Amino acid sequence: MKIVEVPDQTGKVAIITGYRGLAYYSARALAKANAEIILLARNVEKAKENVEILKKETNNEKISVEYMDLCKFDTIRAFAKSYLESKKPLHILMNNAGVMAIKDRQVTDDGNEVQFQTNYLGHFLLTHLLLPVLRTSAPSRIILLSSTAHMMPQASIYKNDLNLEKSYTPFKGYCQSKLACLLFAYELSRRLVGTNITVNALHPGVVDTGLWIHIIDYFPFGKTLYKWFKKFFFITAEEGAQTQIYVATSKECETETGHYYSNCKKAISFNYLSYKKQLHKELYEKSLEMVGLEKGVDYPEVSQTENKKDK
Ligand SMILES: NC(=O)c1ccc[n+]([C@@H]2O[C@H](COP(=O)([O-])OP(=O)(O)OC[C@H]3O[C@@H](n4cnc5c(N)ncnc54)[C@H](OP(=O)(O)O)[C@@H]3O)[C@@H](O)[C@H]2O)c1
């Protein structure tokens, strides 16, 4: 994969969730182009180690880390509150952090299945709480990490069992969360038409990062199998980060919104659910409720004209 040339980002502020894997290389590329970077991490000490390396590698001192655990809504609210109070602008929100295929169903303190909350609901809440600053800083860009997993046979929105209490499998949880990220990008992009805030989702490729840890542990001889697969099918984390860097910074994507990207190009989703606008809306409204945003928040209504247009 070609390494993207990042236009000068002086004056731009980017928030990236996560600090290793794709987050690390995204932060590095943006910092090299002189953006200010704030990494959001639950593991602040480890993230700080990466921040120090990033500062040395990029000669950019404007890289910092803040505590936020996507599995804890109160930490998301606390971060967003302090960020809004800081009056700092925000031009890029990269909703990147994630977990994949946790073997046994786990539930967060907020009562949600861990993959659904980490990958989707936590970012849904964070994005809404930061919308006021994304609006005042526009043009701004929201990026969501989806995956081709959103097209797998298990990938659906289990409307009556979003938290998979009735039937959980590790991949069902992951695929649903990644489809939800894509549908959120589509729905929010329609709701933000005319604001100069773009919203896009993407698949980074099959990338050699820590994300595969649960799968490696799941299969007998997982480590050996991973080594072989890695050799023939995986790209590096730096290569994998290129699509999100491209969508976050390129001139070509400046006004593009409501798209799914792969390999630094617009891509097609083969999951018919991704074309069902009514489902996007239902998931969006249910998610507002699940994260506790149903009353008195700044969430955008979709305009009637946008609703009538086909994707
Ligand atoms: N790698 C691939 O092949 C691939 C393919 C398709 C899509 N993706 C997507 O790409 C994104 C980045 O994944 P990656 O490959 O870079 O994986 P990674 O190397 O495992 O990084 C995941 C990041 O998410 C953070 N994280 C996990 N749970 C968190 C929580 N509750 N709160 C805050 N941070 C949390 C991790 O921090 P901790 O150290 O605290 O866990 C880590 O920084 C994910 O959304 C993934 O679904 C990856």
The answer to whether residue 4 sits within a structural domain is no
Ligand 1 centre distance from Cα of residue 174 (Å): 12
Alpha carbons 185 and 127: distance in angstroms, whole number = 11
**1 pLDDT tier (thresholds 50, 70, 90):** confident
Is residue 210 in contact with ligand 1, taking CB distance under 6 Å? yes
pLDDT surpassing 90 at residue 220: no
The answer to whether residue 36 sits within a structural domain is yes
Stretch 70-85: mean pLDDT, rounded? Answer: 97
Q: Around 119, how many Cα atoms within 13 Å sit in the side-chain half-sphere?
A: 28
DSSP annotation of 92 reads: E
Indicate which residue's Cα is closest to atom 21 of ligand 1: 21
Indicate which residue's Cα is closest to atom 45 of ligand 1: 98
The answer to whether residue 304 sits within a structural domain is no
Residues with catalytic function = 174
pLDDT surpassing 60 at residue 217: yes
DSSP-assigned states of every residue in 20-40: STHHHHHHHHHHHTT-EEEEE
Cβ neighbours around 271 below 10 Å, total: 18
The answer to whether residue 46 sits within a structural domain is yes
Ligand 1 centre distance from Cα of residue 68 (Å): 14
The answer to whether residue 129 sits within a structural domain is yes
Is residue 123 in contact with ligand 1, taking CB distance under 6 Å? no
Domain residue limits at 187? 13-290
pLDDT surpassing 60 at residue 310: no
Stretch 213-236: mean pLDDT, rounded? Answer: 88
Domain total of the chain? 1
Place of tokens 């849904």: 124
CATH of the domain at 188: 3.40.50.720
The answer to whether residue 95 sits within a structural domain is yes
Ligand 1 centre distance from Cα of residue 277 (Å): 28
> What is the H or E stretch that residue 189 is in?
helix 170-191
Place of tokens 């949600």: 112
The answer to whether residue 80 sits within a structural domain is yes
pLDDT surpassing 50 at residue 105: yes
CA distances from 296 to 35, 109, 279, 292, 293 (A): 33, 24, 23, 10, 7
Ligand 1 centre distance from Cα of residue 304 (Å): 36
**304 pLDDT tier (thresholds 50, 70, 90):** very low
Alpha carbons 28 and 56: distance in angstroms, whole number = 10
Alpha carbons 155 and 103: distance in angstroms, whole number = 17
pLDDT surpassing 70 at residue 160: yes
Ligand 1 atom, smallest distance to 181 CA: 45
Stretch 127-146: mean pLDDT, rounded? Answer: 97
Q: Determine whether 93 is exposed, middle or buried from the number of CB atoms within 10 Å of its CB (0-12, 13-18, 19+).
A: buried
Average pLDDT, the chain: 94
Segment 270-296, tens digit of pLDDT: 999 999 999 999 999 999 999 998 755
The answer to whether residue 144 sits within a structural domain is yes
Stretch 115-121: mean pLDDT, rounded? Answer: 98
pLDDT surpassing 60 at residue 130: yes
Alpha carbons 38 and 174: distance in angstroms, whole number = 26
Alpha carbons 22 and 24: distance in angstroms, whole number = 5
By DSSP bridging, strand 260-262 and strand 265-266 are antiparallel
pLDDT at 308: 47
Burial of 157-175, coded b for 16+ CB within 10 Å and e otherwise, reads bbeeebbbeeebebbbbbb
pLDDT surpassing 70 at residue 165: yes
Alpha carbons 148 and 262: distance in angstroms, whole number = 9
Counting every residue, how long is the chain?
A: 311
